[in-house]
Chain A
Amino acid sequence: MAHITIDGQIVPFEAGQTVMEAAMAAGVYIPHLCHHPDFTPHGSCRQCTVTLKAGWNITACTARAAEGQEISNNTEELNLVRKRLTQMLFVEGNHFCPACEKTGNCQLQGVAYHLNMMSNHYPQFYALREVDATHPDILLDRNRCIFCNLCVRASHAEGKDVFAIAGRGINKHLVVNSESGKLIDSELTADDRAANICPTGALLVRGKAFQAPIGQRRYDHHDIEEVTLGGSHGG
């Protein structure tokens, strides 16, 4: 079978598979935020950046595996890059994690733990972001949105197209498909995949908040690597 190597480990792949897919199947964790096995790769968070032996970087979620590729993944250098990218997400939005209804069931937090992130490193942007609490069953807190596009992709797949990411550059923001721009006037319902897929606490189905006390939360005792490879992908 055709194979690539990741940090020296032989990883078989099938024609057409991405590096991420091959790695996951072989039990190799490559940090990621915008990737989800059920949806078309997006390639925006850059968390899954890996280095080819040839010297340049690719994103594992979008690049196809090719025979003989030698890939570095779990290196100090790349993990620092990933930590910085994660810190960028933390300063760009407003993440008050201890008070967040997601109670630690958050992949952004999970990745931050995994990368040993101890501070924000960069200056905070203090962006003004709108909260949409109009929907009886779903809360949208844009302060926590990391533009992974998963809700957009999920809602598109459901034929509802409730979400889109609008704007340019640092002014990007999530918009809702309704005349008022509010969730309550949209077609979103709590059982939509789109309402449940958010890797952070930006989109939350109500009534599920603060379910786990600190100390018993998803990533308190298990690294996101273990959780992801174990198959219980958040959302």
Chain B
Amino acid sequence: MESFIDETLKKYQHQTTPLLMVLRDVQAQYFHIPKQAVELIAKGLDIPRTQIVAVVEFYHFFSFEPRGRYDIFLSDSITDHMLGKKALADYLCTKLQTPLGTVRADGVVSIDNTACTGLCDQGPALLVNGYAIGQLSEQRIDRIVVLIEQNCPVTEWDSDLFEVYDNIQQPGLLLNTKLPRGAALTAAWQRGLTETLDDIKASGLRGRGGAGFTTAMKWASCRATEETERYVVCNADEGEPGTFKDRVLLNSYTHDIFEGMTICAAILGAHKGFVYLRGEYLHLFNKLNAVLEERRAAGLLGDNILGYGWKFDIEIRLGAGSYVCGESSALLESLEGKMGIPRNRPPSSIIKGYLAKPTVLNNVETFVAAAHIAWQGSEWFASCGTEKSKGTKILSICGDCERPGIYEYPFGTTLKEVLKDCGADDVLGVQVGGPSGTFVSTRESDGRLTFEELSTGGAFIIFNHSRNIFDIVQNFTHFFAEESCGFCTPCRVGTSLLKKQFDKIHSGHGSAGDIKELRDIAKLIKDTSHCGLGQSAAEPILTTLERYPNLYERQIKQQYSFDPVFDLDGSLAVARKMSGRDDGHAHLTQVEKK
């Protein structure tokens, strides 16, 4: 083990910031993080072992307990469920004789759930040793089971199993335009970097990751800082369930992303950039690195970019399964080799970002748009969209429709048009923006996609009338409880309380006061949480309580004034057995009559 750790640390130049990369290698080698490895890494990097322990326990894909040599994570997004995940999961677990959440006794295979893997348009999906397999069916599972039982290394499995389709259904302004390599860079230098920044400002480009912050303003503030060392970071964490548009951009518009980052770097005066790639997109890692190599060879990255004397390079760093790491400051913490806990503001990461240096962090799509604007100019971009939301938005559409996939629309497009294009005729509602967004009913289908009205980072999940709103809300509520980083009290404790309270009502055990209590907990989490995760964790409950109060009322046992959270009579079972009693006095009734 010593030599393996030694080599691994060497591979990352004994830096502490790529700690997640180091641990990913260790996990892949030993199927867990051995305690001895913790000691060796702590010594080798001269960091407290507690930092390593904290990181291992924080991320889904690290484990101190040995996992199977084939470590399977089933995508547990609502869209996987809509595509029959439950039955397929049961089928897989039975075939492999491995119950969900366990490691098989022979150590060959382990199966667990994980949050959305970004294959919602081609689910149900799973990860095996980190690599995504979509379009699960009994046939495909049979093949997987055979390969596992034959002990065939994952690297030798048929590549068609790992095929991920772009699924671009409706390209628009950006997706239809092929950016020639280096064209945006050349244009930017010819126009002048300050002028290019002005152009990006004139284009009205706002961040595509969800919050919609004006991109040029972010870049300009970072450029204006006193420091000499600055960083550019691309947020490719794409963790919001139902979002997969960055996956397609990373796969097929890779140069555009890197070009946007390089322009940003030149404008800021940054020499180093990172792409923080979610662990679930391991299947894109080699490809991204190959494109980086290609760009270095072509002089589009490196010490003297296109002969303009600018030095800039990009490094891809993988996450390890954590939704909150998509939040900008949590992402930076993670990039520094720590737990993904959102930082306190001020200072903003524009002033103190990666390693406390000024940092611009943008979504994948934002960099693509910036590159195209640098090349084609602001008017080309601003010619579509609305007054306050310029340009186009790339949507990842999934759920109950005929043609799920990638759609690019000018801002201002109505919900109705989108639903028509993707072939959704039977619509109960749409979750716009994923679990942290809003559940919109068809009554609101005149609503327009803009930052002000219906804002989305890309997620657009359609539900038909056969779907149960409670199942959807439950899936989302459990998701947030699972993904809470645990830093602040309302989100750490509150999301777990909310989950229990919701499940109580959902399972028919709610009594009169329980809806009020549900709303109170939800509001408390929303009003007092530290970061965007907590602040939106209760949205699925709050928005459906508002739109469908009757649904909740119907779930309530009106006749009871109180129903405890646990099974009173069941709790006495052991005592009854021990005392050999079963008379009336040895039983308790569960509910109090009104």
- A171-B486, A177-B49 known; A166-B493 Cβ under 8 A: no
Task: Please pick, from B39, B53, B492, B566, the residue contacting A170 in the complex, using a CB distance under 8 A.
Answer: B492
Smallest CB–CB gap between A14 and chain B, Å? 17
Chain B residues near A88 (CB-CB < 8 A):
489-490, 493-494, 497
Assembled-state Cα–Cα distance A111/B190 (Å): 63
Assembled-state Cα–Cα distance A49/B492 (Å): 16
Smallest CB–CB gap between B107 and chain A, Å? 24
A167 within 8 A of B: yes
- A44-B487, A49-B528 known; A167-B492 Cβ under 8 A: no
- A165-B54, A168-B57, A177-B49 known; A46-B493 Cβ under 8 A: no
- A46-B488, A125-B496, A177-B48 known; A57-B483 Cβ under 8 A: no
Most chain B CB inside 10 Å of its own CB: which residue of A81, A166, A177: A166
Smallest CB–CB gap between B380 and chain A, Å? 38
Smallest CB–CB gap between B576 and chain A, Å? 21
Smallest CB–CB gap between A17 and chain B, Å? 13
**Closest Cβ neighbor of A172 among chain B residues:** B486
- A92-B493, A123-B565 known; A169-B485 Cβ under 8 A: yes
Chain B residues near A114 (CB-CB < 8 A):
none
Contact B488 A168 (CB under 8 A): no
- Interface positions, chain A 5-46, Cβ under 8 Å from B, are 41-46
- Interface positions, chain B 269-294, Cβ under 8 Å from A, are none
Smallest CB–CB gap between A148 and chain B, Å? 10
Assembled-state Cα–Cα distance A49/B489 (Å): 12
Assembled-state Cα–Cα distance A167/B58 (Å): 5
**Closest Cβ neighbor of A167 among chain B residues:** B57
Assembled-state Cα–Cα distance A62/B530 (Å): 11
Contact B486 A85 (CB under 8 A): no
A95 within 8 A of B: no
A224 within 8 A of B: no
Contact B50 A175 (CB under 8 A): yes
B484 within 8 A of A: yes
- A44-B487, A122-B497, A172-B486 known; A166-B528 Cβ under 8 A: no
Interface contacts (Cβ under 8 Å), in number, total 113
Task: Please pick, from B48, B59, B527, the residue contacting A81 in the complex, using a CB distance under 8 A.
Answer: B527
B511 within 8 A of A: no
Interface size on B, residues (CB 8 A): 41
Assembled-state Cα–Cα distance A168/B55 (Å): 9
Assembled-state Cα–Cα distance A74/B488 (Å): 21
Assembled-state Cα–Cα distance A214/B334 (Å): 47
Smallest CB–CB gap between A199 and chain B, Å? 13
Chain A residues near B54 (CB-CB < 8 A):
164-167, 175
Contact B484 A169 (CB under 8 A): yes
Chain B residues near A47 (CB-CB < 8 A):
489
A176 within 8 A of B: yes
Assembled-state Cα–Cα distance A59/B482 (Å): 25
Chain B residues near A169 (CB-CB < 8 A):
481-486, 492, 495-496
Chain B residues near A175 (CB-CB < 8 A):
50, 53-54
B322 within 8 A of A: yes
A219 within 8 A of B: no
Smallest CB–CB gap between A78 and chain B, Å? 10
Contact B528 A170 (CB under 8 A): no
Residues 188-215 of A, flagged 1 when their CB comes within 8 A of B and 0 if not, give 0000000000000000000000000000
- A122-B497, A164-B54 known; A43-B484 Cβ under 8 A: no
Task: Please pick, from B51, B344, B524, the residue contacting A62 in the complex, using a CB distance under 8 A.
Answer: B344
Contact B486 A57 (CB under 8 A): no
B346 within 8 A of A: yes
Smallest CB–CB gap between A213 and chain B, Å? 31
Smallest CB–CB gap between B481 and chain A, Å? 7
Chain A residues near B48 (CB-CB < 8 A):
161, 164, 177
Chain B residues near A46 (CB-CB < 8 A):
488-490, 528-530
Smallest CB–CB gap between B434 and chain A, Å? 19
Interface residues on A, range: 35 or more
Assembled-state Cα–Cα distance A56/B48 (Å): 38
**Closest Cβ neighbor of B340 among chain A residues:** A168
Most chain A CB inside 10 Å of its own CB: which residue of B490, B493, B497: B493
Assembled-state Cα–Cα distance A46/B530 (Å): 8
**Closest Cβ neighbor of B496 among chain A residues:** A170
B500 within 8 A of A: yes
**Closest Cβ neighbor of A49 among chain B residues:** B528
Chain B residues near A166 (CB-CB < 8 A):
50, 53-54, 56-58, 339
Smallest CB–CB gap between A13 and chain B, Å? 15
A179 within 8 A of B: yes
A64 within 8 A of B: yes
Chain A residues near B486 (CB-CB < 8 A):
147, 167-172
Task: Please pick, from B35, B51, B524, the residue contacting A84 in the complex, using a CB distance under 8 A.
Answer: B524
Contact A44 B53 (CB under 8 A): no
Assembled-state Cα–Cα distance A81/B490 (Å): 10
Assembled-state Cα–Cα distance A168/B53 (Å): 12
Assembled-state Cα–Cα distance A57/B524 (Å): 11
Task: Please pick, from B490, B492, B520, B530, the residue contacting A172 in the complex, using a CB distance under 8 A.
Answer: B492
Chain B residues near A125 (CB-CB < 8 A):
496
Chain B residues near A161 (CB-CB < 8 A):
48, 50
Most chain B CB inside 10 Å of its own CB: which residue of A59, A64, A88, A163: A88
Chain B residues near A176 (CB-CB < 8 A):
50
Smallest CB–CB gap between A107 and chain B, Å? 14
Residues 34-53 of B, flagged 1 when their CB comes within 8 A of A and 0 if not, give 01000100000000111101
Residues 501-525 of B, flagged 1 when their CB comes within 8 A of A and 0 if not, give 0000000000000000000100010
**Closest Cβ neighbor of A89 among chain B residues:** B489
Assembled-state Cα–Cα distance A89/B56 (Å): 25
A184 within 8 A of B: no
A91 within 8 A of B: yes
Q: List 18 A-B contacts (CB under 8 A).
A: A42-B344, A44-B488, A46-B529, A49-B528, A59-B530, A62-B344, A84-B520, A84-B524, A88-B497, A89-B489, A123-B497, A147-B492, A161-B50, A166-B53, A171-B57, A172-B492, A175-B50, A177-B49
Q: 9 tightest A-B contacts by CB?
A: A164-B50, A88-B493, A166-B54, A172-B486, A161-B48, A169-B484, A167-B57, A169-B486, A166-B57
Interface set of B (CB-CB < 8 Å, partner A): 35, 39, 48-51, 53-54, 56-59, 322, 339, 344, 346, 481-490, 492-497, 500, 520, 524, 527-530, 565-566
Other CB < 8 Å A-B pairs besides A46-B530, A166-B58, A175-B54, 17 of them? A43-B344, A44-B487, A49-B527, A57-B528, A84-B524, A88-B497, A89-B493, A91-B493, A147-B486, A161-B50, A166-B50, A166-B54, A167-B486, A168-B58, A168-B322, A168-B484, A169-B482
